[in-house]
Amino acid sequence: MRSFRSVALMLVLGSVGASTLFDVAAQTKREVREQAEASMVLTGEIDIGTEGQVEAFRLDKRAQVDETIVTFVEGAVKTWRFAPVLVDGQAVKARTPATIRLGAKNNPDGTGLVTLLAANFETYDETSTDNVTKVRMSPPAYPEDVFNARGRGDVLLLVQVGRDGKVLDVATEQVNLRVIANEANMRKMRDKLARVSMGAARKWTFKAPSTGDGKDDASWTVRVPVRFSFGDEVARYGRWDAYIPGPRQQAPWRRDSALAADANADLLPAGGVFMADATSTAPKLLTPLGG
């Protein structure tokens, strides 16, 4: 993995996501903090050449990101190579959105180590007739105690959609927290966020595919990311945050599907609906993240 050290990162884990939620035991919380990884999620747009090379990369809100991080990310992305994008069998130039997660950890000597953890190139097309698209998706209510403690997190749902567009079943695939607490209290937070998310999802409605290879399927499974955050989310772009990934689990109706095949699913853009069992149409990255 591409990485760099910088004394500017000395305080990175000391300033992210601290919380007094649920009367956290100080010693246990400190142990969790030592194991935590600071995270920064950046977005941008990549131009891909006919041979899969990166011709240009535009980082969103560049001015809000530390210049050292900008240099690091831009340098790594420019070394990437994708599988050529084909249209009617011919390689063409393409443009793709990119969501990139950086990770940072403090070293015993006080310096920091930064790495590229994951990248996702999916996009949601609400006009697609080959895929399930959303009709009505009212967001879940923020659990009051989590909100009052300024707890933040991201829930990744698996939703089974029937031919009438109604939800047949719903499961939580993963809950990643952006707050630090002891393990027992983080488990409570995950349970609360998962419970309200699944409750809301059972009332959602979708539009079933009318074209494509899967249009005659009895049902479809989609991934829906749900973000619990506050109004300062735009201002927080380009800042380090706590990142405590939760355990991944499979939906009961998908026991034969491997979780490892969807390793970057937690970077799916918020507000979208993504087919879980269909072949991805996003550009395929061939090189390691660090180049």
In this predicted model, what pLDDT tens digit does every residue of 59-75 receive, in sequence order? Answer: 999 999 999 999 999 99
Instruction: Write out the two tokens for 125.
Output: 């097309």
Question: Is residue 98 classed as helix, strand or coil in its secondary structure?
Answer: strand
User: Does the domain formed by 133-229+245-275 have CATH 3.90.1150.10?
Assistant: no
Residue located via tokens 């690091």: 72
Is the pLDDT at 186 greater than 50, yes or no?
yes
Q: Please report, rounded to a whole number, the percentage of residues in the chain having pLDDT higher than 90.
A: 63
Query: 47 and 93 in contact (C-beta within 8 Å)?
Result: yes
Instruction: Name the DSSP letter for residue 186.
Output: H
Categorize the per-residue pLDDT at 31 as very low, low, confident or very high, splitting at 50, 70 and 90: low
Q: How far apart are CA 275 and CA 222, in angstroms?
A: 4
Query: 62 and 70 in contact (C-beta within 8 Å)?
Result: yes
Looking at residue 136, its amino acid is: R
pLDDT of residue 120: 95
In this predicted model, what pLDDT tens digit does every residue of 107-117 receive, in sequence order? Answer: 777 677 889 99
From 102, 2, 3, select the one nearest 43 (Cα to Cα).
102
Q: How far apart are CA 125 and CA 115, in angstroms?
A: 31
pLDDT of residue 18: 36
**Cα separations in angstroms, 238 against 61, 64, 152:** 8, 6, 17
Range picked from 145-149, 232-236, 287-291 for highest mean pLDDT: 145-149
Instruction: Write out the two tokens for 58.
Output: 């535009």
pLDDT of residue 28: 54
The neighbour count for residue 5, using CB atoms within 10 Å, is 12
Categorize the per-residue pLDDT at 22 as very low, low, confident or very high, splitting at 50, 70 and 90: very low
Residue 226 or residue 184, greater confidence: 226
Q: How far apart are CA 268 and CA 270, in angstroms?
A: 6
pTM: 0.84
Q: How far apart are CA 127 and CA 104, in angstroms?
A: 38
Residue located via tokens 């079933």: 208
Q: At what angle do helices 183-201 and 26-35 cross, to 10 degrees?
A: 70
Question: Is residue 267 classed as helix, strand or coil in its secondary structure?
Answer: helix
Domain boundaries, the chain: 3-120, 133-229+245-275
Instruction: Name the DSSP letter for residue 253.
Output: G
Q: How far apart are CA 160 and CA 276, in angstroms?
A: 10
In this predicted model, what pLDDT tens digit does every residue of 157-177 receive, in sequence order? Answer: 999 999 999 999 999 999 999
Query: 238 and 40 in contact (C-beta within 8 Å)?
Result: yes
Burial 195-219 (b: 16+ CB within 10 A, else e): ebbbebbeebebbbbeeeebeeeee
pLDDT of residue 4: 40
Categorize the per-residue pLDDT at 32 as very low, low, confident or very high, splitting at 50, 70 and 90: low
From 273, 279, 111, select the one nearest 208 (Cα to Cα).
273
Is the pLDDT at 237 greater than 60, yes or no?
yes
Question: Is residue 195 classed as helix, strand or coil in its secondary structure?
Answer: helix
Q: How far apart are CA 122 and CA 207, in angstroms?
A: 19
Instruction: Name the DSSP letter for residue 180.
Output: B
